[in-house]
């Protein structure tokens, strides 16, 4: 048997239970039970790896339901490489399309938040700007372009996904929640290497997204004021600066 | 550049504060390469801090040396880590873990002339890409293969001979595999080419019962068992002191518990040094 055929038959057997050809033991009638060690190891370790990436989703759905889900997701989109911390990019879409969860459409967005947090944790490092950079930028808002920390992510939702995520953190207590209101999550890895999640109002969310897309400061502020009349970007800018999220400042052409 | 012949432990982020505080007297820390394949962040920061004070053993689990081919992207990520952190040792497993998807387990391969050539090709490729010699670890196995034609010890010895790689002797894996296949672990260790061993692993196992006898599982979630300590002492008596890792990856205990295991290994190593001095 060619080695590639051996690998394929062994892998198939891990999921179907069919004993691969050639597998035996000192007591040959125990071969299936011994092969089952590998079957259980693979199923369990991948299921736990997925739960480690999505602990709030596991808490919301319950461990049993989640454990039943995991092999279905695995069959659809198993890890493409050994970087398990990067596995699960398709899990939110999987949850969104999973018929038994049709009544809980907000769970998929909690998964999006969790996946973004995982990405933020491992994102590249970048040195924050010194404190005076913000006033320099404000002084020339028509030409200032701010670069944001590589870990920063915005996850919009039609639902109160941030609140749902927050109340399913260790130590928090789930309580009745009005989920049918939109919340946009801001996720970033801060100076202390924490990865907080906060809900942004429409003005702040538009402003940060505009900065991320490379708009000059004044255009970003205009976009934010359109989304939320009277919006002042001062507070969110200060908050980003404190978290170490402002990492670059360039002065381009006047917008 | 090699690991010192003293005890080491597997680094876990939850122990980082305790390590900074107590500055333990350890020979080295071992880390799983795959956990450090992100672009940046606290994982890298902790590893850099450890690197500054301790020797580092970079231990991979996802290379799939026994698979069809080496993943070039994975190898490039390993090279980046090796270049960044200059570990005193890089090691991987005689196993496969990917075929299409990554299965997150160390899966067995039959020992034949074909698989011997395949594994040697892969180790040649890895050593050339990384610019250094690697250590290959013996596996814990639960099944045998009818198509195997080469005993495991001969298989590993020949790999080492052909590629120049060293061996990582996991004494717990020897105990688990030999028990599972109703062989004598002491006989296995007597035949093992100890002169090719660059590191020892010690870990815990779980036990189930089958009609024919015990089925041991390499669980790494408990202290090292007494029979494994006894085998370790025999290995060190025969081979002299060797870098020894305490491997406890599941249900990770508090830091002092790990250090107690490391101290027990230290006692064996110290006894051997004292014996040689006589």
> Averaged over B67-87, what is the pLDDT?
98
ipTM for this model: 0.95
Which helix (H) or strand (E) covers residue A184, if one does? strand A184-187
**Chain B residues in contact with A46 (beta carbon < 8 A):** 103-104
* pLDDT of residue B166 exceeding 70: yes
pTM here is 0.95
**Chain A residues in contact with B108 (beta carbon < 8 A):** 38
**Nearest chain A Cα to B148, which residue?**
A22
pLDDT at res. A254: 62
Q: What is the CA radius of gyration of chain A?
A: 24
* pLDDT of residue A18 exceeding 70: yes
* pLDDT tens, position by position, A210-227: 999 999 999 999 999 999
DSSP assignments along B222-256, one per residue:
SPPPHHHHHHHHHHHHHH----EEEE--SS---HH
Question: With b meaning 16 or more CB within 10 Å and e meaning fewer, what string describes A168-206?
Answer: beeeeeeeeeebeeebbbbbbbbeeeebebebbeebbbb
How many interchain CB pairs under 8 A, A with B? Answer: 137
Q: Say if B209 is an interface residue toward chain A (CB within 8 Å).
A: no
Rounded CA-CA distance B108/A10 in Å is 9
* pLDDT of residue B34 exceeding 60: yes
Q: Say if B140 is an interface residue toward chain A (CB within 8 Å).
A: no
pLDDT at res. B1: 80
**Nearest chain B Cα to A23, which residue?**
B145
Q: What is the CA radius of gyration of chain B?
A: 18
**Chain A residues in contact with B206 (beta carbon < 8 A):** none
Rounded to a whole number, what is the distance in Å from the CA of A30 to chain B's nearest CA? 8
pLDDT at res. B273: 81
Over chain B, what is the mean pLDDT? 97
> Averaged over B125-142, what is the pLDDT?
98
Rounded to a whole number, what is the distance in Å from the CA of A157 to chain B's nearest CA? 27
**Chain A residues in contact with B142 (beta carbon < 8 A):** 34-35, 37-38
Rounded to a whole number, what is the distance in Å from the CA of B24 to chain A's nearest CA? 24
* pLDDT tens, position by position, A79-120: 999 999 999 999 999 999 999 999 999 999 999 999 999 999
Cβ contact, residue pair A34, B143, below 8 Å: yes
**Chain A residues in contact with B68 (beta carbon < 8 A):** 3-4, 7
Position A174 confidence tier, pLDDT thresholds 50, 70, 90: confident
Q: Say if B161 is an interface residue toward chain A (CB within 8 Å).
A: no
pLDDT at res. B278: 67
**Chain A residues in contact with B118 (beta carbon < 8 A):** 3
Percentage of chain B surpassing pLDDT 90? 97
Place of tokens 């991320």: A212
* pLDDT of residue A50 exceeding 60: yes
pLDDT at res. A158: 95
* pLDDT of residue A255 exceeding 60: no
pLDDT at res. B87: 98
pLDDT at res. B276: 78
Which helix (H) or strand (E) covers residue B84, if one does? helix B72-85
pLDDT at res. B274: 82
Cβ contact, residue pair A6, B97, below 8 Å: no
- CB-closest option in B38, B180, B181 to A85: B38
**Nearest chain B Cα to A40, which residue?**
B105
pLDDT at res. A1: 77
């Amino acid at each position: 048997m060619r080695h590639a055929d051996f690998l394929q038959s062994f892998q198939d057997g891990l999921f179907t239970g069919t004993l691969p050809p050639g597998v035996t033991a000192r007591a040959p009638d125990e071969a299936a039970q011994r092969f089952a060690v590998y079957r259980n190891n693979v199923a369990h370790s991948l299921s736990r790896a997925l739960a480690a990436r999505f602990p709030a989703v596991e808490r919301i759905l319950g461990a049993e339901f989640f454990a039943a889900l995991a092999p279905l997701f695995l069959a659809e989109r198993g890890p493409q490489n050994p970087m398990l911390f990067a596995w699960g990019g398709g899990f939110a879409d999987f949850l969104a399309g999973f018929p038994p969860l049709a009544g809980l459409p907000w769970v998929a967005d909690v998964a999006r938040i969790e996946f973004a947090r995982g990405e933020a944790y491992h994102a590249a490092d970048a040195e924050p700007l010194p404190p005076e950079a913000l006033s320099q930028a404000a002084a020339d808002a028509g030409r200032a372009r701010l670069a944001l920390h590589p870990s920063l992510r915005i996850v919009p939702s039609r639902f109160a996904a941030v609140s749902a995520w927050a109340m399913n953190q260790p130590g928090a207590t789930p309580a009745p929640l009005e989920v049918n209101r939109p919340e946009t999550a801001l996720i970033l890895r801060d100076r202390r290497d924490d990865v907080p999640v906060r809900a942004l109002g429409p003005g702040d969310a538009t402003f940060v997204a505009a900065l991320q897309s490379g708009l000059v400061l004044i255009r970003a502020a205009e976009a934010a004021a359109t989304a939320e009349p009277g919006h002042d970007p001062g507070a969110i800018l200060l908050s980003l600066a404190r978290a170490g999220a402002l990492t670059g400042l360039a002065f381009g052409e006047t917008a | 550049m090699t690991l010192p012949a003293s005890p080491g432990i597997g680094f876990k982020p939850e122990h980082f504060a305790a390590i900074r505080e107590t500055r333990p007297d350890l020979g080295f820390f071992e880390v799983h390469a795959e956990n450090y394949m992100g672009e940046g962040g606290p994982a890298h920061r902790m590893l850099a801090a450890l690197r500054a004070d301790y020797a580092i053993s970079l231990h991979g689990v996802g290379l799939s040396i026994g698979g069809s081919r080496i993943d070039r992207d994975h190898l490039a990520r390993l090279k980046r880590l090796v270049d960044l952190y200059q570990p005193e040792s890089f090691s991987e497993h005689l196993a496969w873990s990917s075929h299409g998807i990554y299965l997150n387990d160390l899966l067995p391969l039959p020992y034949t002339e074909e698989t011997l050539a395949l594994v040697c090709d892969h180790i040649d490729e890895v050593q050339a890409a990384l610019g250094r010699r690697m250590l290959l670890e013996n596996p814990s196995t639960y099944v045998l293969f009818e198509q195997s034609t080469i005993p495991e010890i001969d298989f590993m010895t020949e790999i080492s001979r052909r590629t120049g790689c060293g061996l990582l002797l996991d004494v717990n894996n020897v105990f688990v595999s030999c028990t599972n296949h109703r062989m004598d672990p002491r006989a296995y260790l007597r035949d093992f080419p100890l002169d090719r061993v660059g590191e020892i692993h010690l870990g815990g196992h779980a036990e189930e019962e089958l009609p024919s006898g015990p089925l041991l599982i390499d669980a790494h979630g408990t202290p090292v068992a007494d029979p494994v300590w006894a085998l370790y002492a025999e290995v060190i008596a025969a081979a002299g002191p060797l870098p020894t890792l305490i491997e406890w990856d599941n249900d990770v205990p508090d830091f002092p518990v790990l250090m107690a295991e490391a101290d027990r290994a230290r006692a064996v190593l110290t006894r051997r040094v004292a014996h040689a001095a006589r």
